[in-house]
């Protein structure tokens, strides 16, 4: 829709927007708890999993402030919340309505499920469940398989394969973790949330961790899940403070000084096998165990799956896409934009910014080619 919006502005004709959903932009609609976290104050390649040079180049060509200006000119002024995240004031429809209005010049072919593709000389023959569509220029913007309940699918990778592109299969990220037996105590705390920092090897992600009946979720876990493949992560339940700072008062009980929810403290202490007592009575061995509260080792069993995931890792190989134009390096007039590419952002507005930036880069290339 952003691509169509940009091209419509320049007087383009003959654009068809094909979607198997009965309505466009369903992921926008359900995003950010219905308020669409559209971008972030602070966006760089460091917030993404993907080839950093590729990501940087695309993001620099259409920045968050350009996106915010685009929305502002159309009467939408998202509000900044914690972590520099911009959300719509009332609802995600604010963004959706702008895109729909600006993409008016396009023909919307809704409830058209794309099933395959053929390149016939210099044309793309797209097979849908409602018949064939022939295009001279084709932009694949089919996102990822995350949230199939609103239309997420891996059709983009199937099409890429039919056109000889390399890709990494999709797997769910920005998703909660299921837990191993050792951490089943976490499930008993379902509904409690606590501020943590999660160390996933080369990255540390801070935010709320929410205990859920299947495992752990919440912003910190969702962001960390982007970087986790398997193995151990370390959770700091007392971020920004040393253990000594937390347990300053030697005459008070450990539990009262942790400043965490009572039930969490009880289960945490049980899990690290430390008895609650006044600080001055702690043995050296107990101090060592308590240090685990700053680096609680946990090996997630898996994740909550595609139906709960806000994005997918994987996608079309960036080495086969030109970052100046988003055009395929294998086929003239074939383009990829958005989440179908092997670039995925952290939680916080990074994925929409990526989708919009790559759409604008592609629109500029198509404009140079077709409209100048
Ligand atoms: C619950 C949820 C909340 C999210 N919240 C945020 C947020 O607040 N901020 C943020 O930055 N990101 C968020 N995301 C991620 C963001 O929605 C995606 O990264 C973004 O929508 C990707 O844009 P896209 O245009 O590449 O793909 P999409 O928006 O997924 O669009 C792809 C389109 O292709 C269509 N399609 C798929 N298969 C077929 C087919 N076979 N035939 C025809 N059409 C097909 C789909 O119906 C869809 O309309 C969220 C995602 C989810 C699931």
Q: What is the pLDDT of residues 43-86, one digit of tens each?
A: 999 999 999 999 999 999 999 999 999 999 999 999 999 999 99
Q: Please state the rounded mean pLDDT for residues 182-200.
A: 96
Cβ density class 323-345: b for 16+ within 10 Å, e for less: bebbbbeebebbbbbbbbbbbbb
What is d(CA 63, CA 106) in angstroms, rounded to the nearest whole number? 25
CA of residue 182 to ligand 1 center, whole Å: 35
37 CB within 6 A, ligand 1: yes
Task: Using the predicted structure, report yes or no on whether residue 167 has a pLDDT greater than 90.
Answer: yes
Q: What is the DSSP letter of 339?
A: G
Q: Is 141 in the pocket of ligand 1 (CB under 6 A)?
A: yes
Model confidence band, residue 235 (pLDDT cutoffs 50, 70, 90): very high
First to last CA, the chain: 21
Give the Cα separation of 194 and 208 in Å (integer).
5
* CA of residue 348 to ligand 1 center, whole Å: 15
Distance 351 CA to ligand 1 centre (A): 9
Between the CA of 346 and the centroid of ligand 1 the distance, in Å, is 15
Examine the pLDDT at 146 and tell me if it is beyond 90: yes
Residue 371: its pLDDT value, please?
82
Please give the distance, rounded to the nearest whole angstrom, from the Cα atom of residue 152 to the centre of ligand 1: 6
Whether the per-residue pLDDT at 175 is higher than 90: the answer is: yes
142 CB within 6 A, ligand 1: yes
- How confident is residue 201, by pLDDT bands cut at 50, 70 and 90? confident
Nearest CA to ligand 1 atom 4: 31
Q: Is the pLDDT assigned to residue 372 strictly greater than 80?
A: no
Whether residue 202 has pLDDT greater than 90: no
Nearest CA to ligand 1 atom 20: 352
Q: Is 200:225 a contact under the CB 8 Å cutoff?
A: no
Instruction: Specify the 3-state DSSP secondary structure of 327.
Output: strand
Q: Write out pLDDT tens, residues 264-302.
A: 999 999 999 999 999 999 999 999 999 999 999 999 999
What's CA 33's distance to the chain center, in Å? 14
Distance CA 372, CA 13 (A): 13
Ligand 1: which of 310, 315, 345, 360 to mutate, judged by most atoms within 8 Å of the beta carbon? 310
Q: What are the tokens at 359?
A: 């759409």
Which one, of 321, 365, 327, 366, lies nearest residue 343 by Cα?
321
The more confident residue out of 371 and 127 is 127
214 in ligand 1 pocket by Cβ < 6 Å?
no
Q: Which atom of ligand 1 is nearest to the CA of 156?
A: 38
Q: Is the CB of 339 under 6 A from ligand 1?
A: yes
């Amino acid at each position: 829709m952003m691509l169509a919006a940009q091209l419509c502005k320049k007087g383009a004709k003959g654009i068809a927007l094909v979607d198997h959903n009965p309505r466009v932009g369903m992921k926008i609609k359900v995003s950010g708890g219905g308020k669409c976290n559209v971008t972030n104050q602070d966006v760089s390649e460091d917030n993404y999993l993907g080839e950093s040079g590729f990501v940087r180049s695309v993001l620099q060509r259409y920045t968050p402030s350009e996106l915010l200006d685009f929305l502002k000119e159309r009467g939408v002024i998202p509000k900044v919340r914690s972590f520099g995240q911009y959300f719509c004031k009332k609802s995600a429809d604010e963004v959706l309505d702008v895109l729909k209005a600006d993409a008016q010049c396009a023909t919307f072919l809704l409830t058209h499920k794309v099933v395959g593709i053929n390149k016939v000389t210099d044309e793309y023959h797209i097979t849908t469940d409602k018949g064939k569509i022939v295009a001279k220029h084709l932009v694949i913007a089919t996102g990822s398989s995350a949230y199939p309940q609103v239309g997420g699918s891996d059709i983009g990778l199937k099409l890429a394969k039919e056109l000889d592109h390399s890709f990494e299969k999709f797997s769910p990220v920005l998703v909660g973790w299921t837990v191993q037996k050792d951490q089943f105590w976490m499930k008993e705390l379902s509904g409690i949330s606590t501020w943590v920092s999660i160390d996933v090897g080369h990255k540390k992600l801070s935010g709320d961790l929410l205990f859920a009946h299947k495992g752990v979720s919440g912003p910190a876990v969702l962001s960390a899940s982007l970087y986790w493949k398997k193995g151990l992560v370390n959770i700091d339940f007392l971020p920004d403070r040393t253990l000594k700072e937390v347990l300053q008062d030697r005459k008070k009980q450990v539990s009262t000084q942790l400043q965490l929810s009572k039930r969490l403290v009880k289960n945490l202490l049980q899990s690290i096998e430390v008895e609650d007592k006044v600080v001055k009575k702690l043995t050296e061995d107990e101090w060592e165990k308590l240090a685990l509260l700053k680096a609680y080792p946990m090996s997630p069993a898996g994740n909550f799956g595609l139906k709960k995931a806000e994005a997918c890792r994987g996608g079309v190989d960036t080495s086969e896409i030109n970052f100046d134009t988003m055009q395929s390096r294998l086929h003239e007039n074939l383009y990829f934009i958005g989440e179908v590419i092997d670039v995925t952002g952290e939680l916080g507005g990074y994925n929409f910014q990526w989708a919009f930036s790559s759409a604008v880069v592609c629109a500029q290339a198509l404009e140079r080619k077709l409209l100048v």
